[in-house]
């Protein structure tokens, strides 16, 4: 695995890039191609460490799932009334992670925020893979997973339909649509870069990229069509992203249980989704920057902007979180109030307070410029934020079961079994494994968009002179 | 439900349930009354339910984890009363809890595949073959009376020759499906079929549930609410409880009540409050 690379050949950000500029102006276009294509060949040793670790985690998750599949969901220590456990909590977490890809690639694309250009590709890949992971959790959670297709409204000779009243059917529809659209969006935005890969590859890889690049030649007509189509898909994707997590929120808001039946849940979930997604982007930013030597493209000013965006979203989330508590506290629903008090003082109180601390206090680290520009700190902070967001989902699902309407079923001591933890850990392995594979096979930095950035700056400078 | 049926009868699928006099012209609306004053907490009903409905005995370990499959459970509460410090047992009271067969059931709307739905005779039915085990129904049930098959019970709950005691009229459920009290639907169906071939309505007392049959103190009364003269209908009438109301306007001294009526589930089970010695 150890190999030598000519370090002098790589554009490394040795000089300070001013805040107004996102990346250095004088990177040649050929150099951009060279740097990005190199990322697909020889990554640092750390790549293999991460990949193998994820593979190991994933294998353990598969082992747990096979065990659960053969024995029954009893091995997960689920019970009445704790029927959902970590599976649904982690499902919401992964759905949430998928939102920032769309935020970066679609919303910021429409708003012409140029700084997103070097990092939107991996954010978009993150969207796709975390949606796939979330989809896995739906399957893992089902009692009879081999009948999962009953949820889908497919034509059949008996005209048996799913129950369209059920939020789970909305879920299946919304997630299916969102997953398809984000795969299309990710692939579509990659076509010009795949053509560059095709032109530089040999052997079977050439065939592979030749097939995927759909005969892209870079003619004016192709670019014109590409631009229109890309913008159209971006516009199509934005309402989808908002609707998906709103619908996941209705799983809870439509139900009748105390602690779930809350009107503000859809925006609260969307804010939480963007929040954890942005935090994950910071984590992956730092990892990719190191692993693939993207220092010249994933620069500190871009990280700075991402961090500020995350801070803003964190504050929105905090606000909506406080609204939820306030509306329950001052509301007339005694049951919901009791559940809230149980959350804050009952068995799960440490996790509830940890969730509030990690979700609302820790993001203030992002408000300090010196911390924002310190990579190790940002790595830790972003992981902590995501831990907080995972705890938030855990705190939505579990206490309501533990302290619902019916006093006879109140339980304070429920804890998930190792099988549940194993599958949750396996999902993280599955996600990082897919993500790392993607980064190796496809260009993680959008070459053509970075070239645009450099070109625009070059032209602006030329115009000034 | 064909597509054309869906389009044509869209509005009829949106009818609010229950409405006033919904079962007036119908033949059947199964309902129950449980007199908590008569209940001694002997668990005979639970045992009868296990025998009648092929409920698996899960064993000590699963039971302590909360994975018991008792469709009908006896809940014991410690009430307040005189001399409670000396005789704490004096305050013990029991509440048999089973599926309340809600008229507007929270479980029915959320099932993604429609495995649980309302029958014309007012039961909340569960179709095992259709159930995929998403457990949303249990999550949304305020009474938590739905039980999930966490394990493959047929493999171990009835070792040879115990499988000989299984009720042939009732399915043995496999792992991964939800189940719950059915008001002994197999008995109801048989009685209805018999009555139909004879061209009449099922008479009051002709059919009853296993729990009501086993109760030594006759605390459980089961019957047809659509039949004004049935015992159940008369008790509902006497207790001034209306099926389609979420807030009963009744005499304060009457003992009848339905659990979580304010959640607008419109349960089909009426409980008669216990009268304490000091109050009597």
Inform me whether the pLDDT recorded for B257 exceeds 50.
Answer: yes
* Cβ within 8 Å of B, A 377-436: 401, 404-406, 408-409, 411, 414
pLDDT at residue B215, as a whole number: 94
Pick B140's closest partner by Cβ from A78, A169, A255: A255
**Chain A residues in contact with B135 (beta carbon < 8 A):** 83-84, 141, 143
The rounded distance, in Å, linking the Cα atoms of A353 and A344 is: 7
Average model confidence (pLDDT) for chain B? 88
Q: Report the range out of A19-28, A53-62, A195-204 with the highest average pLDDT.
A: A53-62
**Do residue B139 and residue A167 have CB atoms under 8 angstroms apart?**
no
Residue A316, both tokens: 């929105």
Spatial CB neighbours of A298, under 8 Å, sequence gap ≥ 6: A118, A119, A285, A288, A289, A445
Cβ-based burial of B110 (10 A; exposed 0-12, middle 13-18, buried ≥19): buried
| Cα→Cα distances A199→A6, A188, A408, A441, Å | 23, 18, 68, 15
**DSSP bridge pairs for B223:** B31
As a whole number of angstroms, the longest Cα–Cα distance in chain B is 69
> Where is average pLDDT lowest: A133-147, A178-192, A255-269, B75-89?
B75-89
Residue B236's nearest CA partner among B122, B65, B84 is B122
> Where is average pLDDT lowest: A430-439, A451-460, B32-41, B189-198?
A451-460
What is the average pLDDT across B89-107? 87
Residue B57's nearest CA partner among B183, B175, B158, B173 is B158
Inform me whether the pLDDT recorded for A13 exceeds 60.
Answer: no
pLDDT in tens, A387-435: 999 999 999 999 999 998 998 888 888 889 999 999 999 999 999 999 9
Q: What is the dihedral of CA A312, A318, A323, A324, to 10 degrees?
A: 130
pLDDT in tens, A313-334: 999 999 999 999 999 999 888 8
pLDDT at residue A16, as a whole number: 52
The rounded distance, in Å, linking the Cα atoms of A329 and A323 is: 10
pLDDT in tens, A170-185: 999 999 999 999 999 9
Q: How many CB pairs under 8 A join A and B?
A: 141
Helices (H), A161-299: 167-200, 203-212, 220-253, 265-291
Which pLDDT band holds residue B89 (cuts at 50, 70, 90)? low
Greater confidence (A157 vs A312) lies with A312
In angstroms and rounded to an integer, the radius of gyration of the C-alpha atoms of chain B is 20
**DSSP bridge pairs for B148:** B178
The order of strands in the sheet holding B220-224 is B220-224, B30-35, B269-272, B256-257
Instruction: ipTM value, please give it.
Output: 0.88
CB A371 within 8 A of CB A377: yes
Inform me whether the pLDDT recorded for B170 exceeds 90.
Answer: yes
Which pLDDT band holds residue B130 (cuts at 50, 70, 90)? very high
pLDDT in tens, A234-293: 888 888 888 998 999 999 999 989 989 988 899 999 999 999 999 999 999 999 888 888
Rounded to a whole number, what is the distance in Å from the CA of B110 to chain A's nearest CA? 4
| Cα→Cα distances A368→A275, A276, A373, B125, Å | 18, 19, 9, 59
Inform me whether the pLDDT recorded for A357 exceeds 90.
Answer: yes
What is the average pLDDT across A19-32? 72
What is the average pLDDT across A90-109? 85
Q: Does A332 touch chain B (CB under 8 A)?
A: no
Which pLDDT band holds residue B98 (cuts at 50, 70, 90)? very high
The rounded distance, in Å, linking the Cα atoms of A370 and A378 is: 10
Inform me whether the pLDDT recorded for A9 exceeds 50.
Answer: no
What is the average pLDDT across A356-382? 91
Residue with token string 């339905």: B258
**Chain B residues in contact with A334 (beta carbon < 8 A):** none
Provide the 10 A C-beta neighbour count for residue A154.
10
Rounded to a whole number, what is the distance in Å from the CA of A5 to chain B's nearest CA? 52
Inform me whether the pLDDT recorded for B178 exceeds 60.
Answer: yes
Task: Report which DSSP code applies to A381.
Answer: H
pLDDT in tens, A377-392: 999 999 999 999 999 9
pLDDT at residue B173, as a whole number: 92
Sorted by where each starts, the structural domains of chain B and their CATH numbers stand as: 27-272 (3.30.70.20)
| Percentage of chain B modeled with pLDDT above 70 | 92
Residue B108, both tokens: 């029915």
pLDDT at residue A218, as a whole number: 86
Q: At what angle do helices A29-39 and A447-464 cross, to 10 degrees?
A: 160
pLDDT in tens, B148-160: 999 999 888 898 8
The rounded distance, in Å, linking the Cα atoms of B196 and B206 is: 13
CB A362 within 8 A of CB A325: no
pLDDT at residue B189, as a whole number: 94
Residue A100's nearest CA partner among A265, A315, A271, A251 is A271
HSE-CB of A241 using CA atoms within 13 angstroms = 29
Query: Checking DSSP bridges between strand B30-35 and strand B269-272, what pairing results, if any?
Result: parallel
Q: What is the DSSP string of A104-145?
A: IIIIHHHTT-GGGTTTHHHHHHHHHHHHHHHHHHHHHH-TTG
Residue with token string 């012409």: A112
**Chain B residues in contact with A78 (beta carbon < 8 A):** 148, 150
Greater confidence (A74 vs A32) lies with A74
**Do residue B175 and residue A73 have CB atoms under 8 angstroms apart?**
yes
**Chain A residues in contact with B114 (beta carbon < 8 A):** 160-163
pLDDT at residue A6, as a whole number: 46
Pick A80's closest partner by Cβ from B136, B148, B151: B148
Provide the 10 A C-beta neighbour count for residue A399.
25
What is the average pLDDT across B137-144? 93
* Residue from B104, B112, B144 to probe the interface with A (highest A Cβ count within 10 Å): B112
Which pLDDT band holds residue A350 (cuts at 50, 70, 90)? very high
**Do residue B139 and residue A150 have CB atoms under 8 angstroms apart?**
no
Residue A114, both tokens: 């140029």
Rounded to a whole number, what is the distance in Å from the CA of A71 to chain B's nearest CA? 6
CB A268 within 8 A of CB A320: yes
In Å, how far from its chain's centre is CA A305?
18
The rounded distance, in Å, linking the Cα atoms of B136 and B120 is: 23
CB B129 within 8 A of CB B120: no
Residue B174, both tokens: 């496999």
Average model confidence (pLDDT) for chain A? 87
CB A436 within 8 A of CB A54: yes
What is the average pLDDT across B239-255? 88
CATH topology of domain A28-153+164-401+424-454: Formate dehydrogenase/DMSO reductase fold (1.20.1630)
Inform me whether the pLDDT recorded for A3 exceeds 50.
Answer: no
**Chain A residues in contact with B173 (beta carbon < 8 A):** none
Sign of the torsion formed by the C-alpha atoms of B244, B247, B251 and B253: positive
**Chain B residues in contact with A80 (beta carbon < 8 A):** 66-68, 138, 144, 146-148
Which pLDDT band holds residue B19 (cuts at 50, 70, 90)? confident
Residue with token string 């909305």: A170
Cβ-based burial of A6 (10 A; exposed 0-12, middle 13-18, buried ≥19): exposed
């Amino acid at each position: 695995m150890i190999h030598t690379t000519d370090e002098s050949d790589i554009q490394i950000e040795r000089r300070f890039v001013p805040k107004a500029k996102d990346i250095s102006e004088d990177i040649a276009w050929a150099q951009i191609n060279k740097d990005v294509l190199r990322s697909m060949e020889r990554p640092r040793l750390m790549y293999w460490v991460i990949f193998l670790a994820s593979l190991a985690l994933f294998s353990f998750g598969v082992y747990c799932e096979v065990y659960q599949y053969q024995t029954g969901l009893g091995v997960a220590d689920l019970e009445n009334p704790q029927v959902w456990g970590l599976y649904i909590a982690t499902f919401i977490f992964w759905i949430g992670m998928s939102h920032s890809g769309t935020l970066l690639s679609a919303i910021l694309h429409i708003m012409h925020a140029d700084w997103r250009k070097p990092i939107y590709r991996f954010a978009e890949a993150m969207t796709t893979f975390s949606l796939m992971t979330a989809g896995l959790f739906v399957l893992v959670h089902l009692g009879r997973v081999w009948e999962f297709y009953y949820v889908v409204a497919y034509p059949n000779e008996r005209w048996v339909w799913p129950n369209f009243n059920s939020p789970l059917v909305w879920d299946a529809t919304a997630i299916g649509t969102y997953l398809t659209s984000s795969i299309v969006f990710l692939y579509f935005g990659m076509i010009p870069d795949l053509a560059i890969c095709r032109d530089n590859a040999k052997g079977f890889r050439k065939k592979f990229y030749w097939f995927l690049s759909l005969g892209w030649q870079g003619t004016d007509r192709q670019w014109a069509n590409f631009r229109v189509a890309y913008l159209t898909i971006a516009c199509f994707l934005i309402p989808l992203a908002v609707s998906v997590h709103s619908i996941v929120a209705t799983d809870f808001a439509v139900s009748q249980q105390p602690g779930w039946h809350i009107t503000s849940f859809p925006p609260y979930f969307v804010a939480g989704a963007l929040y954890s997604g942005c935090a994950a982007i910071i984590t992956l930013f730092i990892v990719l920057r190191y692993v693939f030597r993207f220092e010249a493209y994933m620069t500190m000013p871009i990280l700075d902007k991402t961090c500020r965006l995350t801070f803003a979203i964190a504050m929105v989330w905090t606000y909506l979180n406080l609204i939820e508590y306030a509306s329950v506290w001052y509301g007339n629903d005694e049951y919901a109030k009791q559940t809230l008090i149980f959350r804050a003082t009952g068995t799960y109180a440490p996790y509830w307070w940890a969730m509030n601390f990690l979700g609302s206090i820790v993001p203030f680290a992002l408000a300090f410029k010196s911390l924002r520009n310190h990579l190790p700190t940002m790595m830790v902070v972003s992981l902590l934020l995501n831990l907080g967001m995972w705890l938030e989902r855990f705190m939505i699902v579990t206490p309501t079961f533990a302290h619902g309407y019916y006093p006879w079923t109140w339980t304070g001591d429920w804890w998930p079994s190792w099988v549940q933890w194993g599958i949750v850990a396996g999902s993280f392995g599955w996600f990082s494994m897919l993500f790392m594979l993607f980064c190796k096979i496809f260009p993680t930095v959008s070459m053509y968009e970075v070239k645009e950035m450099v070109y625009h700056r070059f032209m602006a400078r030329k115009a000034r002179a | 439900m064909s597509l054309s049926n869906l389009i044509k009868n869209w509005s009829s699928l949106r009818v609010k349930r229950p409405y006033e006099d919904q079962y007036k012209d119908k033949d059947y609306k199964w309902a129950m009354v449980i007199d908590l004053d008569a209940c001694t907490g002997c668990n005979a009903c639970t045992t009868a339910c296990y025998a009648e409905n092929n409920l698996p005995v899960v064993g000590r370990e699963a039971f302590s984890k909360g994975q018991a499959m008792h469709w009908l459970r006896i809940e014991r509460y410690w009430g307040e009363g005189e001399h409670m410090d000396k005789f704490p047992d004096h305050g013990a009271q029991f509440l048999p809890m089973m599926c309340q067969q809600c008229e507007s059931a929270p479980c029915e709307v959320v099932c993604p595949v429609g495995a649980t739905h309302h029958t014309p005779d007012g039961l909340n039915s569960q179709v095992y073959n259709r159930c995929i085990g998403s457990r949303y129904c249990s999550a949304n049930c305020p009474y938590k009376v739905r039980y999930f098959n966490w394990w493959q019970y047929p493999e171990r709950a009835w070792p040879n020759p115990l499988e000989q005691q299984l009720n042939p009229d009732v399915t043995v459920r496999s792992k991964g499906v939800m189940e719950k009290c059915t008001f002994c639907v197999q008995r109801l169906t048989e009685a209805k079929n018999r009555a139909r071939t004879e061209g009449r309505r099922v008479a009051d007392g002709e059919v009853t549930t296993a729990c009501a049959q086993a109760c030594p103190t006759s605390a459980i009364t089961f019957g047809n609410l659509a039949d004004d003269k049935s015992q159940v209908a008369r008790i509902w009438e006497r207790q001034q409880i209306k099926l389609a109301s979420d807030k009963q306007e009744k005499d304060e001294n009457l003992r009848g009540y339905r659990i979580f009526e304010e959640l607008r589930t419109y349960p089909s089970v009426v409980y008669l409050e216990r009268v304490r010695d000091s109050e009597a």
